[in-house]
Amino acid sequence: MKTLILIISLSLTIASCNKITESKSFVLPVLKERKAGLYAQDFASQQKKYNEAVAKIKEKPNETKAYCALAKILMYEARVTGEHPYYYPAALTCLEEAISKDKENPEALILKTSVLLSLHHFGEAKLLAQRISNTTIGAASVYGMLCDANVELGNYTEAVQAVDKMMNLRPGLEAYARASYLREITGDNEGAIEAMKMAVQAGLPGTEDAAWTRVTLGNIYYHQGKITEAEGQYEMARLERKNYPFAMAGLAMVYKTQKRFDEALLLLDTAVTMIPEVAFLEKKAEVQQELGNKKAVDSLLAIIQTMMNEDEQAGHINHAERAILYSKHNYKNADALHHAEIEIKERPDNITAQYAMAYALFRNNKYAESKGYMTKALRMNSKDAEMLTLAANIEKAMGNIPEAGKYMALAKDANPIFVANALN
């Protein structure tokens, strides 16, 4: 995630009078070498696909298919390598080139919507997905993206309707995973587990998608305090896709819960060497905070801030993530509130944005305002222990001790192992 976009010029010799060159502004993104140990065989396949796509672009620069193929390769590399600031803008470049040649090309528009969602441009993604859904019959993936965009914009009824259409058209890993998330944010934790189990069963073991799905199931277990079940899922993901970094990061959190701090940090260090993922460093900060190493926590937060700045420069909107992270660690509270205010203007109805705003206001001692946003964030009946603990601390700060006790009881019920003084 630390690399700016590297590009090389694509020059074509016109071999025949009927060949049209691509626009002079288009430049061909480079497929970067992966870090050592990051699935060499998989990367060899990606290199082959990349070379084939480039060759087709050179041969027929006016056709859209090869640009879309190249964009898919770059999007996959973004997920596998964590080099989001490089690969997502690079993919967008290819897709814009394809769309410039065929403004209604369904594949290019669908892929562009996916990239916009990854960059958190939710409003733009929704408009584009709606446009595609009006012209592309039976595209289950479009309804999946409409679900994602509506969830992030706080349009939860519309999100449910979209995932229902997706399920009717093509039940599978992606549809089940979305259904799981919708159940989770509405407090149906058992239903979330059931749907994510179905997503796991629909996946092909060893693939990146299947490994991500199994880790997500592990995360659901973990956040419900079902540590043994979470550990089992992380271990299986790590076996099915050897040393999958996200599985190692999940297992590190299990070790943190078990007070095996050195083992947790070792796993996270290994994961970070493979993928420069902000979430891995956030987890390291959690471990260091548990150990009471404030200097180490502050150092990690400074690194994360730099990485988030680079993401932002590449077009990734991350204000809610910043606000929650800073607030969780009582770090740069004025900045946390600034980011929360930006996010809430863009997504006033989304519960994550409302939670970020409540958290930042709490850290800035604005308890009455914080309570207002916390009430909105909990309106979906969430059983997230961290959200409920924040609600308890807000009530406590306002002197509402009985209400604080009720929220803390709900938090402990949601996750029995959750540390009650997590905000201290």
Q: What is residue 133's predicted lDDT score, i.e. its pLDDT?
A: 85
310-352 pLDDT per residue, tens: 999 999 999 999 999 999 999 999 999 999 999 999 999 999 9
224-267 pLDDT per residue, tens: 999 999 999 999 999 999 889 999 999 999 999 999 999 999 99
* DSSP 8-state secondary structure symbol assigned to residue 16: S
Q: What angle do CA 143, 148, 149 make, to 5 degrees?
A: 95
pTM score above 0.85: yes
User: Considering the chain, what is the average pLDDT of its residues?
Assistant: 90
44-92 pLDDT per residue, tens: 999 999 999 999 999 999 999 999 999 999 999 999 999 999 999 999 9
What distance in Å separates the CA atoms of residue 208 and residue 216, rounded to the nearest whole number? 12
* Closest C-alpha among 310, 312, 274 to residue 4: 310
pLDDT band at 9 (very low <50, low <70, confident <90, very high): very low
pLDDT band at 40 (very low <50, low <70, confident <90, very high): confident
Q: What is residue 343's predicted lDDT score, i.e. its pLDDT?
A: 97
The CA distances from residue 41 to 34, 38, 343, in Å, are 11, 9, 40
* Cα dihedral sign, 246-247-249-253: positive
CB 200 within 8 A of CB 176: no
89-144 pLDDT per residue, tens: 999 999 999 999 999 899 999 999 999 999 999 999 999 999 898 876 658 889 99
Q: What is residue 138's predicted lDDT score, i.e. its pLDDT?
A: 58
Q: What angle do CA 3, 347, 104 make, to 5 degrees?
A: 70
What distance in Å separates the CA atoms of residue 61 and residue 156, rounded to the nearest whole number? 42
Q: Is 2 exposed, middle or buried (0-12, 13-18, 19+ CB in 10 A)?
A: exposed
